[in-house]
Structure 1
Amino acid sequence: MRQIIALGGGGFSMESDNPLLDLYILKQVMKSKPKICFIPTASGDSDHYISRYYNFFNEQNCKPSHLSLFKPPTRELDSFILEKDIVYVGGGNTKNLLTLWKEWGVDDILKKAWNQGIILAGVSAGSICWFEEGVTDSFGDGLEPIKCLGFLKGSNCPHYDGEIERRPAYHKLVESKKIQSGIATDDGVAIHYKEQEISKIVSSRPNAKAFRVSFERKFKETELQTEFLGSGKFS
């Protein structure tokens, strides 16, 4: 089964004292020690970001690794990625991420991974990248649409409540049809897709939500059912 878990914000990079979303990702693999690979391309392979990843996942029941395109671990990137159980993409500059991935062929490898049942996950740029389009600040001032990988249909806007300009910008872009309708996620929310449909929406924060944003005859924002992971056992 093909699965993608798209985080609007949160996880180890934003919620060091709140592991709920990252633990949820790990629990989706039915293995005692899943292999998880972090891809920090969007941050330019930030050493601090990579350290935070290992600080968290080294304490979990898993086998963490990371893929650098600035210091590649091997020429055989396909075999390196395809033997993992989870690929977790970090945030940063979505435009740079997509450009480097295409140059190195990582986009094609990740599609193969997805089709083979490896769980794809990511936050911010690592969420936007899986959709047909996303809302990005990659180009400097302001928020603009960007064409992405298209594994998932529609558009995506992360940090919906975390950055004050995100919500009005997404509304304006959808209403003007500069970007297609899609899904917006607050910080602390993850959308779990199975195949290309939403299976579950979970959150690490009690009031964090996800929304379907669309424009047909008129603009519409619809709150989606979200399960707070802190309320009890999750799966």
Structure 2
Amino acid sequence: MTRAPARPPRRVALLGGGFSTDDDGLLDDWLLGHARGPRPRVCFVPTASGDAPAYVERFLNAFRALDCEPSVLPLFRRELDDTALRAFLLSQDVVYVGGGNTANLLAVWRTHGVDRLLREAYDRGTLLCGISAGANCWAEGSHTDSFGPLTYLRDGLGLLPGSVCPHYDSEPGRRASYRAAVASGALPAGWALEDGVGALFTDGRLTEAVARRPDARLYRVRAGEEGEVTERASTCRPLRG
């Protein structure tokens, strides 16, 4: 009897830093350590920033120095037809989504069918990751400033159960506003990342948490039966240069 081939693990990495914010490269090195195969193909998707040229240049400068094959997927001046776009995305080992506006990111992806292609890539074992909006997009909902003031967004690809809040320690009002959204039920329980943290999820479950700063934390944030909010810090392995 012939067995069906084993399904590859489906993985999402949430980043509280990386090439765009840090000079030490620790989180990017950690990320590439989880990529499949030697010299992985890493595609940067800068949609949330409107494909900002300086952001793209910073990615290319950082990842050309690493043992990988970097590329960029622009959508505001799209060059690939549907067939080529699917082939390109499904050939990647890592899809790295940049920060910016989460709501705009999701809208543009759906217009071009990128949301469906990323789900397919995820099921095939491509490591999906990102920072800020690029972390928010994978969950069912997120905490965002996409509309100006900090608020909740009950939208996302839903590959990661629950919600995500980035910049938990570095932006005024983030912590209180996210806790209030979870307490009220506006957002489901989720994960709050302080800057400097990396969190890897395999098939929706946290399998590794790391930190480039000794005081950086990843929190599981939940609402209790009486509406009180609890935070549970996950143990983060320190990254060393």
What TM-score, normalized to structure 1?
0.95
Contact 2:13 2:130 in 1 (8 A): yes
State the AA in 2 paired with 1:127: A
- Deviation (angstroms), 1:73: 3.4
**Is structure 2 residue 239 aligned with structure 1 residue 229?**
yes
- Deviation (angstroms), 1:30: 4.0
49, 53, 71: which one aligns with 1:43? 49
Contact 2:143 2:150 in 1 (8 A): no
66, 79, 82: which one aligns with 2:90? 82
Find the aligned partners of 1:183 and 1:30 in 2 and give their Cα distance.
Answer: 25
Find the aligned partners of 1:228 and 1:178 in 2 and give their Cα distance.
Answer: 33
Contact 1:136 1:146 in 2 (8 A): no
Residue range with higher mean Cα deviation, 118-127 or 27-36:
27-36
Residue deviations 1:4-55 (CA, integer Å, cap 9, x gap): 1111x2100111x120111111111242211000000000000010010011
Question: Which residue of the partner structure matches residue 100 of structure 2?
Answer: 92
Instruction: Tell me the C-alpha RMSD between the 2 structures.
Output: 1.1
Residue deviations 1:50-88 (CA, integer Å, cap 9, x gap): 010011001011100000001223112111110111000
58, 62, 71: which one aligns with 2:68? 62
Contact 1:158 1:184 in 2 (8 A): yes
Question: Which residue of the partner structure matches residue 12 of structure 1?
Answer: 19
- Deviation (angstroms), 1:142: 2.9
State the AA in 2 paired with 1:188: G
58, 69, 93: which one aligns with 1:52? 58
Question: Which residue of the partner structure matches residue 194 of structure 1?
Answer: 202
Contact 2:27 2:212 in 1 (8 A): yes
Larger radius of gyration: 2
- Deviation (angstroms), 1:208: 0.5
**Is structure 2 residue 169 aligned with structure 1 residue 161?**
yes
Find the aligned partners of 2:188 and 2:111 in 1 and give their Cα distance.
Answer: 27
Contact 1:159 1:187 in 2 (8 A): yes
Per the alignment, in what secondary structure is the counterpart of residue 99 of structure 2? coil
Find the aligned partners of 2:57 and 2:214 in 1 and give their Cα distance.
Answer: 28
Find the aligned partners of 1:207 and 1:118 in 2 and give their Cα distance.
Answer: 30
Ranges in structure 2 where 5+ consecutive residues have no aligned partner: 1-8
Find the aligned partners of 2:14 and 2:107 in 1 and give their Cα distance.
Answer: 20
Aligned residues: 229
**Is structure 2 residue 29 aligned with structure 1 residue 23?**
yes
